[in-house]
Structure 1
Amino acid sequence: MGILLISVVLSGARTNATSTSLWGVSCSQVLYYYIRFPNDPLSIKLLVGAVTASDTIHQALITHSIYWYLVTEYGNPRSLALLVKSIVVEVIFQCITGFLVQGYYTICVWRLSKGKLYLVIPVAAMVLTEFGLSLAYSIIALTRLETFSDLVQIKMLSACTNIFAAIPDVAIASILCTILYRSRTGSPKSNILINRLMVFAINTGLLTSVCACISLITFFAFPTTFIYICFYFLIGRLYANSLMAMLNARRSRRDGCNSDDTTVSLREVPTAGSNLTHCNVNAPSSPGGGRIAIRVNTTKEMKHEPMECNTAGTFGPDTV
């Protein structure tokens, strides 16, 4: 129960005056998003609202779980062996959060790859598989299992759920980075921005993949403890935070280019050495989940040199 309590605290609301945990960070980012991006498409706003609602319900369920074990059933040691319903239902909302975020990233892959089905279909299949495994786990646990020791019956299903929680994230990040890397041109300014976008693409799946892998490792290494549950609780919160961080980072990327005076819209992946002003690409970081706007610094310098007057009273031929 100590590990379970720690996991709830880490994924929950504000813990003290100087430390904000993951759910609090997510709420702050959602508030920032709705204030700074009022003109975003309705579909993106609804996605943010759905992810926030699912994430909040998940937080409420795990909070209820620890309250039931440590407060409601205080002094009743037999209750510690039972599976309270809320700790099982939370799996459903965790997988809903992951499905919404991964689904959005899958759409980004489809747009950025210009509809290449050989890239989109495997990613979509893995996302749907993870969603199906999580639902199956929850339904079986709710209808057939009563104690924590009964979870051994679906041990492999739990392991597969953790595996498929990591694989789609790695695939999505790899595909996005590959497409962005191929869109590099000879312009240093655009390459710097594309490098930054690649970092954002990696961040979309890095933390969730690492967390899912640690949860899987601790599940097999320490099967009689709740260490793996601590990391599993954090996965959904990391999904929500990664989505909001990506959406909110658009303004900082634009603000960092305010001094630039040329805007280039990328819609197609260019080949090396192609003219940047004619290349376009659909990117996940735009308000509609669509376009990357790259601003390229163009500096015009006028060199003024002394104008000397010759003896005839006219400007010499070497003056500028």
Structure 2
Amino acid sequence: MTLLDETMGMLFIGVLIAGILYGVSCTQVYFYFSRYSRDPMYMKLLVLGVWVSDTIHQALISHSLYWYLVTNYGQPATLALLAPTIIIEVVIQAVTGLLVQCFFAARVYRLSGQNWYLTVPVGLLIAVEFAVSTAYTARALKFASFAELTEVKALSISINAFAAAGDVCIAIILCTILQTSKTGFQRSTRLINKLMIFSLNTGLLTSICACLSLITILALPDTFVYIVFFFIIGRLYSNSFMATLNARKGLHDGSSSGDASLSLQNMHPTANSANISRQNGTHIAIQIDTTKDSQRDHELEESESAYKGNTKRHMV
């Protein structure tokens, strides 16, 4: 690759992918307001806040691309300079991450039975990531060229490290809580397994993206390859957040035939039940009728035994 491919080419790819994911996010926001009009106002404001920060971020990185490739077209010297918007976007993306991660941290707090020992470490990781992003932006705005960014390289690395750590921590805690809530019944176990996969996926992509950004900034420091991954972290946050909200009706409808209603709220691990009830359609939780579940499992076992008995008689 030429120098231009490694820098402006990577910037172009990052903005392009971020734009595609922004379109997906806008579609999810429209879908949310169309189907969940009864959600409480604070949830609607949170969705609106995430969408606004996402929109501002997309506008900033698009302006950066325009500034380099159109406004200063034919002036190679300007490619080494820092467009102000390419620095400001860092803190705006941090706002998107802060809103989304706080939502998932609140879920950890509810599902863990208000366990501060689990919630506080998650909250600290989220707060430190936002603080580091703000510090990076404040310092980098004083620089004029990309070469000067080496002075804040440690902060750049820390942003990605704390982002990945926070997402992984949230995913592990949620999966652990769901695992300890299993009743041993087939239907409830299948439903909880689906929720575990769903919870894992909400933080998996952002964690991978943050790790890739961290790896490329260390392995390829003179290129903008890391920018490709960094630009789309915010989009992955907003899309995972909206996917979580928009999946509620699908999960609930899919579980209604099994006498289980979905939510992930106010669920506390117990020995005999997975306690997840659907309240106001705002969060995701499970209420599983263990009596009916046990009866179905017993009937299933009897059917299997009868089938095996008939098979043996036919073989004789």
* TM-score, length of structure 1 as denominator length: 0.84
Q: CA shift at 1:46, angstroms?
A: 0.8
Q: CA shift at 1:292, angstroms?
A: 3.2
| Paired residue type of 1:97 | T
Matching residue of 1:118: 117
* TM-score, length of structure 2 as denominator length: 0.85
**What does the per-residue CA deviation read over 1:58-89, in whole Å, with 9 as the maximum and x for residues that have no partner?**
00000000000000011111111110110001
Q: Is residue 2:95 matched to residue 1:107?
A: no
* Inter-CA distance 94–282: structure 2 relative to 1 (3 Å threshold): farther
Q: CA shift at 1:293, angstroms?
A: 4.1
| Paired residue type of 2:119 | V
Matching residue of 2:15: 8
Q: CA shift at 1:294, angstroms?
A: 4.3
**Partner of residue 249 from structure 2, selected from 224, 239, 251:** 251
**What does the per-residue CA deviation read over 1:146-187, in whole Å, with 9 as the maximum and x for residues that have no partner?**
100000011111111110010000000000000000000022
Matching residue of 2:85: 86
Which SS does the other structure have where 1:287 is aligned? coil
Which SS does the other structure have where 2:275 is aligned? coil
User: Which structure has the larger Rg?
Assistant: 1
Matching residue of 1:171: 169
Q: Which runs of 5+ in 1 are unaligned?
A: 13-20, 302-320
Q: CA shift at 1:287, angstroms?
A: 3.5
Q: Is residue 2:60 matched to residue 1:49?
A: no
Q: Is residue 2:24 matched to residue 1:25?
A: yes
Q: Are 2:129 and 2:159, in contact at CA under 8 Å, matched by a contact in 1? A: yes
| Paired residue type of 2:227 | I
Q: Are 1:51 and 1:100, in contact at CA under 8 Å, matched by a contact in 2? A: yes
Matching residue of 1:268: 268
Q: Are 1:247 and 1:287, in contact at CA under 8 Å, matched by a contact in 2? A: no
**What does the per-residue CA deviation read over 1:125-150, in whole Å, with 9 as the maximum and x for residues that have no partner?**
010000000000001011x2110000
Let me know the Cα RMSD of the aligned residues: 2.1
Q: CA shift at 1:267, angstroms?
A: 3.5
Which SS does the other structure have where 2:247 is aligned? helix
Structure 1 segment 1-320 matched on structure 2, within 5 A: 1-12=8-19, 21-142=20-141, 144-261=142-259, 267-271=267-271, 274=272, 276=273, 280-281=275-276, 287-289=281-283, 291-294=285-288
**What does the per-residue CA deviation read over 1:214-262, in whole Å, with 9 as the maximum and x for residues that have no partner?**
0000001110100001100010000000001111111111121233346
Aligned-partner Cα distance in 2 for 1:290–1:95: 25
* Inter-CA distance 100–295: structure 2 relative to 1 (3 Å threshold): farther
Matching residue of 2:311: none
> More helix per residue: 1 or 2?
2
> Percent identity between the aligned chains?
50
Aligned-partner Cα distance in 2 for 1:267–1:123: 19
* Inter-CA distance 152–53: structure 2 relative to 1 (3 Å threshold): same
